[in-house]
Each structure stands twice: as structure tokens, then as C-alpha cells.
Structure 1
Amino acid sequence: MLSKRPYLIPAFYDWIVDQGHVPHLVVNAHAEGVMVPTVFVEDGHIQLNIGPNAVRDFYMDRVAISFEARFAGQPEQVYVPMHAVKAIVDRDSGQGATFSDEPEETFPQSDDVGAGSTEAPTTGRKGRPQLRAVRGNEEAGSDPEISKRDGKPDDGGPDDDPPPGGGGGGKGGPSLRVVK
């Protein structure tokens, strides 16, 4: 059976952050694939502040959580596979979720987007709109990958027209456009 962790951890993270509180992860530091600063590991576990003000380049998918944080003033890259997360809790109230190891639990080894990546994906899932930077003077439909949808010619709908003035980035800078 698929593990509940990859579904519950993002939900609890959002719930805690939406309250203006600080989410913490309790991680089995000795689990396979975990990358954390070992000097801060106590009894095989490490508690990590994953609040938006404490981390950089935060990325979470169904496979893992990754980010950069400072430990004793030194920046460190952290990578925590979902199977290594023991709990996610609200630092302020102590509420959250704890997870025990269940023998029948299975974890995804890759995700549709950005499996194991430390950066947010740049392309969306098939069939979903995505954003990308375009130059201010780029004409709509000049990229053959963008001008076709499902192998059919572009229908030239209103979303496909370039913004007036050659782009919304001002002075020829990059702008964003929905790509179907």
C-alpha cells in the first residue's frame, strides 16, 4: 500500500504555515538517502525548522523534501526522502502528525515532476499549463513546441497573442506567458 506520508506532510506543512506558525520535521538521520549535517543529529534523529523564513530553495514532492538552511552560520544543503520523515509538528503548539514504520508501506521512487530535484520543476505535467520566460521581442508561436497542442496546429486563441508592446517585462525584459 502507498504510504500516507507524501500526502499528509504537504497538507500539515500548509496548515501550519497558514496559521503563521513554524513547521518542524523530525527525521531519521540514518535512513537511506538522508543528507543532513551529522553534528546536529541526536539519538539518530534531527529536528529541522522548515519554516519559509528559515530555508532557501525549498522544494517538496512525493519523493523528498530538499532545501538549503544555515546550521551554526554555515549554509548546508538538506535532502530528506519521505520515508525518513518521522513527524511534522507545529513548533508553537506541538500539534502535527507522527509516522511509524509500517512493513507494507511503499514510497514512490520518482515523481512526475522533479524527482529528487533540489529545484522546482520548470515544465508542467502533460496537459497542464506552464509558465516560462520569454524575451520581450519574441513572437507568439515562433517556438514549434509551443505553437502546437497535442499535435494539432495552434488555434490562435486569446491566450496565445503576445502582450501589447512586445512583452510585459518592460524595456524588452523577460515576461511570462501561459503555454498550453
Structure 2
Amino acid sequence: MLPWSHKAFRANAPVNSSDMLCRFIDVIPLAYLVYFTFFGVILPPLLAMVVLYSGVFHILRRRLRDSLSRHMEQQTYFLKEQALTKVLTLVLLLFVACWLPLNVMNSVTFFRGPDAVSKEVVYTGILLTHAHSAINPLLYGFRIRRIRDAYLQLWNRLCQLNHFRASLNVTPLLTVII
């Protein structure tokens, strides 16, 4: 299952830095990516999440309809829960949009052959998976108030630290990064 120690995979490693291309498939066998990672690790939880979120939305919609005739406090509570569920659904949809294409491409390549999907399309799929990691914190930060407030507090502290260091005429790595 962990093939990177096998000589056949190490033999495909680039000799010099000018030959550095995306060699992920040279290190991890495609069968492992398709059967274990996609069919075993990604697809079952994804399907379970879709079923669970559908159930949650159905229950929330019913409770919200029932609470329309009740007190305003209960209605506000259910509206907040519905908003949070929408954020989590957006996170799930973003995950699907960013990870499913690459896994489908890997499956097509595995079952149809190496020329079934162009390298450019695969690289775009890889870029989507990396973009998912960058977008998720921003999505949480803009959609969930508590996280947004924590981001703003962190940003203010970093700006204050940067201002303090600038007043001392010190340019440490943190100041350069910020």
C-alpha cells in the first residue's frame, strides 16, 4: 500500500531540478488512488454527508414551518440553525467541486489508460484540490460570525505588532511577511 520505498518508483524520480514535473503518479500508484483513496476514503463519507445534510435540511424546514405560528424566539433560533446548515452545505459543495474532478480523472485514467485525460486537465484538477485548502478558511471566515470576529482580532493584533516593530525600526521576518 505504501509504494514509495519500492525501487521501481524511486527509479522514476527526476535526476536534476530542471526535470521537475508533477510526479505524484510516479510515487503513488493509480490503483491505490482509485480503489483506496477515492472508493474507500473519499466516496463513502461524501455520500453519507450528502444523505445526512439532506435529512438535516428536511428536519429544519419542517421545524421552521411548524415554528411560524409559535414564538419569535424559536423562529429566530431555527433561522440561525438553517443559516449554519447552509454554510456547512456550502463547504460540502466546495469540497465536492474541488476534489471530485481529480478523483474522477484518476478513475478514468486508471480504467481507460494514460491517454484518456490530458495532463493539463489533470494539473487543473490538482490545482483545484490545492485551491480548496486556500478557500476553506476564507469561506468559514466570511460566513460564520464567530470565526470572522476571531480573524479580525488576529488581523488587528498582527497590525499592532507590525506597527510596534516599525516604530522600533526593526524589520524582522514577521514584518516582511505581513
TM range (shorter): under 0.3
The TM-score with structure 1 as length reference comes to 0.25
Between 1 and 2, higher relative CO (CA 8 Å, sep ≥ 6) is seen in 1
- Structure with bigger strand share is 1
The TM-score with structure 2 as length reference comes to 0.25
Rg: which structure is higher? 2
- Structure with bigger helix share is 2
